[in-house]
Structure 1
Amino acid sequence: MSAEAERDGLSLEALEWFVAMQDEATAAPRCRAFAAWIADPEHAAAYAKAEALWARFEMVRPEYERMRRAGRIGQGGGIGRREALLGGLAATVGLSLGWRWARQSDYSAGIGQGRSLVLADGSRVELGPDAGISVELTPEARRIRLDRGQAWFQVAPDAARPFVVEAGAGWVVALGTAFDVNLRAGQVVVTVTEHAVSVSAGEAAPVTLGQGWQMSYGARGLVPGRPVDTGAATGWRQGRLVFDEVPLREVLAELQRYRRGRILLLDDAVGALPVTAIFDASDADAALSHIARILPIRVREAAGLVVLVDRRAPEGAAG
């Protein structure tokens, strides 16, 4: 094989690894395989180039994630990861295939950045870092789709037009209200800061959730609500990340929104460890270091590109 062909092969391999690592549900064995792969300096350099290339077609990410959630990427009979990647590459140069797949959020915020806006109906929205929403306002209804991330809504009164937020596998209907919706890997968390909302998911009957309460839903349907400190639950609006007995895997998913480069959990078991802490949202790396001190985990940076999180070896043990 020629040197040029080897470089091309490595570039494609790096791109495929990068696409695979965008999946928050990537299993620990796959993550460990990636950690071993990127330890090679040549592989790390190729991965850095893949990351830079991906940034050029960031516009296709919401559609890529939608397709992945719908099971159309990486499954038998569906679109493969390589085809999805090539579709995104096509979008960067304006080819029809890429434009057909791309559906950008109407409003979005960058990694580590928030955004405030007022919709045409007068409703206020605050987007958390790396969040995106799509908006459809008609004479009959106001429909918002939370494509990714977290958002807080303060809804303008309009009895003739319901205000509905679709997120994940369910939706939230405002009942004259202010509320927060957080789309995490595998679940959606709804927190009501004013009045009430109606939450629906799956085949279950809608549930009315009042001020000061929080509930979640996911693949298994609705999880019963509980009272919460709404100031803590929406602390991200003031630059604070507050966690109270939150599983490590969910904490890492939150921190991912505040820093560039992927955070990979290499050990599924430690992902369930509870975290109770308050972090400065502007310093995700300091938060990671603190977690490594309070939990039996180690945090390592690979080639300045990826943060690897796994179980800390016992004192005196090798590795």
Structure 2
Amino acid sequence: MTDPETDPIYHEALKWLVRMKDDKANAQDRHAFTAWLAASPANVAAFERASRLWDRFDIVKPEYDRMRASGGLSRRTLMLGGFAILAVGSGGYVLSRPGFFADHATDVAERRTLQLADGSVVELGSYSALSVQFNDRERRIVLHRGEAFFQVAPDQGRPFIVEAGPGATQALGTAFDIKLADDAVTVSVTEHAVAVALDAGRTVAVDEGWQVSYSANGIGAPKAVDGEQVTAWRKDRIVFEDVPLRRVLRELERYRRGRILLMDDSIGDMPVTAIFETRQAEQALRTIAETLSIRVLNPGGFVAVVYRR
């Protein structure tokens, strides 16, 4: 096998991966990428390897996003720095950012139930990761990626706080779900209430049967939510009701190995209403393609490219 560090095709794949992850990627970029993939099976294989590298990078992705937003990272510096660091030696890690080595993580389509030292129970969803930081003053969880459902044991002397993205959720004797997807966090309460605070200081109370979403741009108003729909993933189902296609594809990506690339922005807002089995993500993609009259190019099964027919 060609050494990735000297393989020109692999380096080209890394460049394409960075370009396609860039918010500034346009239709011309996407069409050029599709043509590059179709040009050779070696290109597909190289992009699969590059994507697997990116998957290992996901836990520190929030820090990467902050650096890119502040101008600290460009495509060039990422290529010369970030990926090079991650790929040192035989793909070993040399990063030491806080939380990089999560205490608990799940693989694709895996769920895991955790019993914490205080008696609280956490159910960790597919491709998720968190760290536990308990001390005498507080019980703090850091959700690095994915989704988790919390059933909190009472302890009046130590608040239970979950950090996710730019905010933190404090339990008020409660059960709740937190989902970190891309740059947005959604907190849904199924029992009692929580207090959600952003770094900027604004705090929003969320009661049972309600949810709130936030990002670095701010926090929205609470809205009523169906608790069964929110926690369907705990029964290996995901439920979409008039959800834009781009969000559906991002969710399905958590339940299959590989990337799903939406190549046509014009179809990203198409609404999807469906219930899918999380262990049948490929079938879900086929159903979406048939229902919405779109095409899914799935060379090798690792990279799925979705575009208009």
Q: Normalized against structure 2, the TM-score is what?
A: 0.88
Q: Structure 2: give runs of 5+ residues left out of the alignment.
A: none
The residue number in structure 2 matching 1:43 is: 43
Which whole-Å CA distance do the structure 2 matches of 1:244 and 1:300 have between them? Answer: 25
Alpha-carbon distance, 1:17 to partner:
2.9
Match of 2:85 among 84, 87, 98: 87
The residue number in structure 1 matching 2:16 is: 17
The letter of the residue matching 1:127 is L
The letter of the residue matching 2:81 is E
The letter of the residue matching 1:85 is F
> RMSD across aligned C-alpha pairs, in angstroms?
2.8
The residue number in structure 2 matching 1:125 is: 122
Alpha-carbon distance, 1:113 to partner:
0.8
Other structure's SS at 1:147 match: strand
Which whole-Å CA distance do the structure 1 matches of 2:124 and 2:89 have between them? Answer: 26
Other structure's SS at 1:133 match: strand
The residue number in structure 2 matching 1:316 is: none
Change (3 A) 1:100 1:233: closer
The letter of the residue matching 2:228 is G
The residue number in structure 2 matching 1:317 is: none
Contact 1:74 1:81 in 2 (8 A): no
Other structure's SS at 1:299 match: strand
2:183 maps to 1:186: yes
Which whole-Å CA distance do the structure 2 matches of 1:279 and 1:117 have between them? Answer: 25
Superposition map of 1:221-300 within 5 A? 221-300=218-297
**1:157-208 deviation per Cα after TM superposition (whole angstroms, max 9, x unaligned):** 1111111111112111100000000111231111101110111225463111
Which whole-Å CA distance do the structure 2 matches of 1:74 and 1:171 have between them? Answer: 22
Which whole-Å CA distance do the structure 2 matches of 1:209 and 1:201 have between them? Answer: 14
Other structure's SS at 2:222 match: strand
Other structure's SS at 1:283 match: helix
Match of 2:205 among 205, 208, 211: 208
Contact 1:106 1:132 in 2 (8 A): yes
The residue number in structure 2 matching 1:159 is: 156
The residue number in structure 1 matching 2:33 is: 34
**What percentage of aligned pairs have identical amino acids?**
42
Change (3 A) 1:194 1:250: same
Q: Structure 1: give runs of 5+ residues left out of the alignment.
A: 313-319
Between 1:40-49 and 1:79-88, the stretch displaced more is 40-49
Other structure's SS at 2:220 match: strand
The residue number in structure 2 matching 1:71 is: 67
Other structure's SS at 2:298 match: strand
Change (3 A) 1:33 1:160: farther
Q: Normalized against structure 1, the TM-score is what?
A: 0.85
Which whole-Å CA distance do the structure 1 matches of 2:89 and 2:106 have between them? Answer: 21
The letter of the residue matching 1:151 is A
Change (3 A) 1:262 1:118: same
